[in-house]
Amino acid sequence: MHEYLAPGPIVDCAHPEIRAYAERVAGGCARPRDAAVKLYYAVRDGLRYDPYDVKLDVEGLRASNVLRAGRGWCTPKAVVLAACCRALGIPARLGFADVRNHLSTARMRAAMSSEVFYWHGYTSILLDGRWLKATPAFNVELCRKFRLLPLEFDGTQDSIYHPFDQDGRRHMEYLAQRGEFAEVPLEAMLRTFRERYPGSQLAAGADFEADVDAETRA
């Protein structure tokens, strides 16, 4: 379990800000399960989901930097949750899967030229002898706007995307598992992104929440 408890260049669980945040959120919990649940909801709703602000480098993905920024896409939010779990002595690793996302903004679809999100990130947490998937990506306000079912986590079963939204429309399809790792497999991710999203680029200064508000109102 050492590698799933140790700090790394991205999962910097020993950073003072990560340790202080984890202690503030869940340091008083008697059981690891209770601590992991508290951390999950703090990261899910306390850090805004922002898929426009994708930084594919160590500095941009580092847990302490993402926590300081207060926002991130699925992978950096999973990194923060993993780092906070490790800071409290709970083994955690990073899991990845390819998913087809049927609900995104027009700007994202145009930039990516695809509905497939390669290397979607989640956190895998060891609780009571079992590795459980926890997906803290979409904050609850975003779910309400898109009429998605918020992902809950109780520390006893996996928390993964729902296949349908509240109105029965397709939401997420899991296409392939990429595996679970102690650190972000950054080079492998970059190779896939260069191959699958050639030339994709979001307009500078684009505001995800503003696009969501405009499209959900419409």
Q: What is the pTM of this model?
A: 0.94
Give me the tens of pLDDT residue by residue for the chain, a chain 218 residues long. 899 999 999 999 999 999 999 999 999 999 999 999 999 999 999 999 998 888 899 999 999 999 999 999 999 999 999 999 999 999 999 999 999 886 678 888 788 888 899 999 999 999 999 999 999 999 999 898 888 889 999 999 999 988 888 888 888 899 999 999 999 999 999 999 999 888 776 656 688 888 888 887 76
How is domain 2-198 classified at the architecture level of CATH? Answer: Roll (3.10)
pLDDT at residue 129, as a whole number? 97
pLDDT at residue 155, as a whole number? 97
pLDDT at residue 199, as a whole number? 72
pLDDT at residue 169, as a whole number? 84
pLDDT at residue 22, as a whole number? 98
DSSP states of the chain? -GGGTS--SSS-TTSHHHHHHHHHHHTT-SSHHHHHHHHHHHHHHHSEE-TT----SHHHH-HHHHHHHTEE-HHHHHHHHHHHHHHTT--EEEEEEEEEES---HHHHHHHSSSEEEEEEEEEEEETTEEEEE---S-HHHHHHHTPPPPP--SSS-B---SB-TTS-B-EEEEEEEEEESS--HHHHHHHHHHHSTT--PPTT--HHHHHHHHHH-
pLDDT at residue 102, as a whole number? 63
